[in-house]
Amino acid sequence: MSLLVNQRLPRVGGETSKPKHVAGGVPFSKEQLRDIFKRFDCDKDGRLSKEELKKAFSELGSRVPAFRTLAALHHADENGDGFISEEELEALLQYALGLGYTIKME
């Protein structure tokens, strides 16, 4: 499982692919999503900024990561500071699970 979260998946021809949001794929587990979001905490301050969220949603395959970021903040940023803290991560994960992101190997 951690292979899917911590590195890109090999594809025939030596190229790499990243997880995509597609119908019929294997859904990400809550733990996989947690690992992905934590990986995008680039400055390691224990919270996710708008830019870090945008990059994470892009990695998940969102076609409009900026919109997903704003929607995620609306759903999960309980104190309204513009960040997703460790305490707010559970709400973010529930939101992301509801979007149905799936793993696709190309």
Q: Which residue ranges in the chain fall short of pLDDT 50?
A: 1-22
Q: Is 15 exposed, middle or buried (0-12, 13-18, 19+ CB in 10 A)?
A: exposed
CA dist., res. 100 & res. 15, Å (int): 25
Q: How far is CA 17 from CA 10, 74, 84, 87, in A?
A: 7, 30, 27, 32
Distance CA 68, CA 74 (A): 10
Predicted structure pTM score:
0.75
Span 2-103 CATH architecture: Orthogonal Bundle (1.10)
Domain boundaries of the chain, sorted by first residue:
2-103
* Digit-coded pLDDT (tens) for 78-93: 999 999 999 999 999 9
